Amino acid sequence: MSTYTQILYQIVFSTKYRGNTLTKEDRKDFYKYIWGILEQKKCHLYRINGTENHIHILTHLHPSIALSELVKDIKVAGSKFIKEKKLFPEFNGWQVGYGAFTYSIGKKDALIEYIKNQEEHHRILTFEEEYKALLKEHNIEFDDKFIFYMD
């Protein structure tokens, strides 16, 4: 018998100190690189986007891949790629931790649109407001001191 899954993950993580270091002109190349990491891990990317200080990834996780390892690989390899290609001169790393939220396949199209429109979305909400809303939507208890913790 084979293993079959259909779980969508929205993965969200921020730059260190939430610095606005991911300049728009180079994000496309960086997102393509992350897409390559996901393909290598047999994960299907539905959408990736973000702003100057954070990234959203909507993906199907292959059953053999641990979520924490995937995020770690994206952050480590992504940092190396940024430095080698000199994409974001002010970039100094990623904030510790990440958010990962699961969804049914029926939410896919709405999530794709949500992630696609990140810049417009963040004209209204800050990253912190958006992140807290995601945590609340998924009934995840949190402490503000860890949301605003900047290390």
Run of H or E residues at 113: helix 108-116
Is there a domain that residue 124 lies in?
Answer: yes
- Give the CATH number of the domain where residue 119 resides: 3.30.70.1290
Task: Please give the residue range of the domain that contains residue 96.
Answer: 8-147
- Whether residue 1 lies inside any domain: the answer is no
pLDDT at 150 over 70: no
Whether 31 is in a domain gets the answer yes
Rounded to whole angstroms, what are the CA distances from 62 to 41, 45, 146? 7, 11, 29
Q: Does 53 reside within a domain?
A: yes
Is position 63 within any domain?
yes
Asked, for residue 85, whether it belongs to a domain, the answer is yes
Does the global pTM surpass 0.75? Answer: yes
Among candidate residues 96, 125, 113, 138, the one with its CA nearest the CA of residue 56: 113
CA distance 146 to 69: 22
Number of domains making up the chain? 1
pLDDT band at residue 119 using 50, 70 and 90 as cut-offs:
confident
Whether 144 has a pLDDT exceeding 90, the answer reads no
